[in-house]
A = this chain, B = another copy of it.
Amino acid sequence: MAIVEATIVPIGTSTTSVSKYVADCHKVLQDVKDIKYMLTPMGTIFEGELDAILEVIRKMHEIPFKEGAMRVSTMIKIDDRRDKKGTMEQKLNSVKEKLDM
């Protein structure tokens, strides 16, 4: 199981606001099963089977093009751990415990 972060940004859209594109990208997620995700102020973080997540991000990457963008910059950060089942929650808690938070 992997934790993956994706940031999808259209380039050259004549407006500094990209929330409409981000929102439309997220509509892709509504049909998705077996993948957890959370929205952050800098992107979306997924938890699940790596290939399934990459397939979803691949679909999200197409959305801005469908809405007229001609250039899209997508960043994907994969944290893939196979010695133990790492979830988003465990990862956060593991740090918070050590911080006494």
Contacts and interface: CB of A to CB of B under 8 A. Distances in A.
A75 B74 contact: no
B80 A78 contact: no
Nearest to A18: B11
B73 A76 contact: no
Given A42-B79, A54-B54, 10 more contacts: A7-B77, A9-B11, A11-B18, A22-B98, A38-B40, A40-B45, A61-B78, A72-B80, A75-B75, A75-B76
Interface of A: 3, 5, 7, 9, 11-20, 22-24, 26-27, 38-43, 45, 47, 51, 54, 58, 61, 65, 70-83, 88-89, 91-92, 94-96, 98-99
